[in-house]
Structure 1
Amino acid sequence: MLKLAVNGGKVNGELLYALKEKDRNSGTLTGEIKNDILLADYKFRSEGVFSERQVAFKLTVTTATEGYGEVRETKGKMKFKYLGKLTYGTGLTLKKK
């Protein structure tokens, strides 16, 4: 589940991962939308532990498709190493209700 509040390209929202046979995690995100790509910092809790990582979604009118790519740890947060090399369409796609 992805809920977004957009104000002039800036985004705040909530993200919930509840995948089958995986740990559930939920949290908040803050970021920006540029050229239909949402790039945000996702702060979440999973199994009682707080974490932070960067997330990316390619947005259309009806879907949000998660982007994947090589990551590195920077100041305790997982960030994408090469934003221009993210791939979309091989993983999670959320549909607008």
Structure 2
Amino acid sequence: LRSYGMCSSKGVQLEEAVCMFFMTLGHGVGNRMIQERFQRSGETVSRQFGIVLQKMINLALQEIRPPDNYDKVPLYIRSNPKYWPYFKD
């Protein structure tokens, strides 16, 4: 994320902000639980979540691409009359 402009802030290290972000997403915990776990204010947790989210979006826009053979329809779909009408154009 450093290459996408993310850096440590005055009170929160980059690694800690990313951990807060992934803990929120991965464990489905709320702001209050993150506050308690990382001993940060609700405002800090919310702000850091937003910053990391924006950088992750930038990362996804740059790095996630369809495969090179995106124009080829798999044989299973081409030979199946149920799916082929949707892909033949």
TM-score normalized by the length of structure 2: 0.23
Instruction: Provide the TM-score with structure 1 as the length reference.
Output: 0.22
Q: Name the structure, 1 or 2, with higher relative contact order (CA <8 Å, separation 6+).
A: 2
- Larger of the two Rg values belongs to structure: 2
**Bigger proportion of residues as strand:** 1
Higher helix share: 2
